[in-house]
Chains A and B, each alone.
Chain A
Amino acid sequence: MKKMQKMVRVINMWFVTVILFFFYLLIVPIGRLFYSIYSLFQKKYVSSYWQEPDKRKLDFDSPY
């Protein structure tokens, strides 16, 4: 029984991994498509790319 449970768990893990992989294969190109559309939008409608700098107080002693 325990062996059966372990086998089911392994199969489940692989199943989830494969599903996630195909999901990733689908999501990444969709994500990139949205980014391309967004970039075109920026190019046409945004008048400035300047950003506000990080206003947090500088922590000298931190390497972060």
Chain B
Amino acid sequence: MYILGISAYYHDSAAVLVKDGVVLCAIEEERFTRIKHDNSFPIQAIEWCLKDAKITIQDIEIISYYEKPLLKFERTLDMFIQTWPKSLVPFVRNMPELIGEKLSIEDGIRRKLKYKGRIVFTPHHLSHAAAAYYSSPFPSTAILTIDGVGEYQTTALWKAKEGKIECIRELQFPHSLGLFYSTCAAYLGFKVNEDEYKLMGLAAYGKPIYLNTLKKAIDVKNDGSFHLNLAYFSFRESTQMWSEKLEVLLGKPRQTKEKITKRHADIAKSVQTLTESVYIGILNHLYSITQEKNICISGGVALNALANGLIHTKTPFRESHVFGPAGDSGGALGSALYTYHSQRPTSNDHFPITSLSLGSHYSDSEIEPILKKYHLKYKKLSEKELIHVAAQALNEGKIIGWLQGRCELGPRALGNRSILCRPSPKSMKTKVNVIKIREQFRPFAGSILQKNVHEYFQVPYAHYRCPFMNYCFTVKKEKRQELAAIVHTDNTCRIQTVSKSDGLYFQLMREFYKLSGIPCLLDTSFNLKGEPIVETPEQAIIDFSRTKINSLFIGPYHVDR
């Protein structure tokens, strides 16, 4: 049974193809259109998935859409009515778009894909919950889904057992931790739904001196539930997400190009601290009502790696699984998997996802013509040679572009579409920030061999596994010099554990370890500012030629300057 999962029209459109409960392939539309977080209907992603699986649209038994569009429309109308007449301007601006393509999703799908089969709609948070649960290795677990907003839900608590998922409690719009965080990110001059992680990175430079002040904006109960004080927020009725009252509370908001000051860092730290305490409070409450030892988490707020790093120290959960593509692209995957399992209610099928390398890949015969087109100096190497040359380059302090295998689903590069370099000295961080045209305050993540992770990081136990780069842990004091380029100001680092199942990337890291004695690399996504992660060899070559990356490894080809 082929099921096609789709997310579209808000952010991170994606297509996912599932066959008999197993994810065959998945990719975001942005990789084709080159528009970051592209929200258009993922026609190219869908066409690619069908081509990759060598099937046609007629072979798809069910198309599964990741939310309930009419319910979402109802909530939007509710929002306009509640804030009338202030909402007049956004109402007039948004209604044409809302009553257009976004309402007639089914017709749109049938028309664009020439599809006559069944189309189903899974609620937004259920799609997130399913993505987290069915990708996890847990037969039984508690689940938290937490984001800006789906239809009405902003936060939902679930339990799952033997393939069945049940919602226990929820919070509804406008009371949203995701919107609280986004509002504060916008207040600090960062882009909403795009740059929230910059607030997270900035937090390390500040102190939480605004924490008590910020508590006026959000009422948090002992059981983790919360309500926003809507007097401080105007995201329901205005394009500006915060009200004047928040400016009175925190001072002048930061303009986009304005220099970042200590005050901004202090606000960021206060926001991050408050968010973490709410997040942990919710998790503790979830544990108290489910008594489950496992926790799965999904939704945009689950991308907050600093908060995730606290799960094992601040909650009783023993094992956690934060789904890698925790945003809406993961919703497409969850929708497809939930649909599959709902068709097999008595089945106990469970196929954990251990790798997010689900996207496009290129053969030697596709890569070489591109290299010739750009008149590049290149050499074709055997796998062993490739590993050795790349590891050697890394050990010499070079920065390399690495495009191998299938591209990853989600916002993280996990060793297939990466810019890599050694994790020290500290100047490597500056160099890579310059290459990627990023702000210097932003940290980089690291990949580490799983068998060595407990030697370098304060992880819950030896050989701890976090393969999707969505946890931050404190770097052990004696290792901070060795990892100077990836240790953030607060001594944490976002990490990805790499094991044998990661194929070529694991071999590269192992070879680098042999040469340098360091089982770790600085791993950042292969893209420049404002771009999605590179998808094709040609895009990688263009970025290579525009920057000071020292050499490029695409498939078996080594490209040097």
Contacts and interface: CB of A to CB of B under 8 A. Distances in A.
Interface string A10-47: 00000000000000000010000000000100110011
Given A53-B156, A63-B106, A47 B123 contact: no
A62 B121 contact: yes
A50 to B, nearest CB: 4
B268 to A, nearest CB: 26
A15 to B, nearest CB: 22
Interface in B215-252: 219, 221-223, 225-227, 229-230
B339 interface: yes
Interface in B390-420: none
Contact of A61 (B69, B70, B118, B170): B118
A41 B167 CA distance: 28
B95 interface: no
Contact of B172 (A28, A46, A51, A62): A51
Interface string B80-105: 00001000000000000000000001
A48 B170 contact: no
User: Which of under 10, 10 to 19, 20 to 34, or 35 or more describes the interface residues of A?
Assistant: 10 to 19
A51 B121 CA distance: 23
Contacts of A51: 169-172
A60 B221 contact: no
A18 B246 CA distance: 35
A51 B70 CA distance: 22
Given A58-B123, A63-B105, A53 B69 contact: no
Contacts of A42: 219, 227
B130 to A, nearest CB: 12
B68 A60 contact: no
B121 A53 contact: no
Given A43-B219, A49-B175, A49-B221, A60 B120 contact: yes
Interface in B191-233: 219, 221-223, 225-227, 229-230
B70 A53 contact: no
Nearest to B175: A49
A46 B226 CA distance: 11
Interface in B100-122: 105-106, 118-122
Contacts of B222: 47
Contacts of A46: 221
B342 interface: yes
Nearest to B223: A48
A47 B119 CA distance: 41
B1 interface: no
B381 interface: no
A57 B480 CA distance: 53
B121 A63 contact: yes
B283 to A, nearest CB: 14
B167 A64 contact: no
Given A49-B226, A51-B172, A62-B68, 15 more contacts: A39-B227, A42-B219, A42-B227, A46-B221, A49-B225, A49-B227, A50-B169, A50-B170, A51-B171, A58-B126, A60-B120, A60-B339, A63-B65, A63-B105, A64-B74
17 contacts: A39-B229, A39-B230, A47-B221, A48-B225, A49-B175, A49-B225, A50-B223, A51-B170, A51-B171, A51-B172, A60-B121, A60-B122, A61-B121, A62-B68, A63-B70, A63-B121, A64-B68
Interface of A: 28, 39, 42-43, 46-53, 58, 60-64
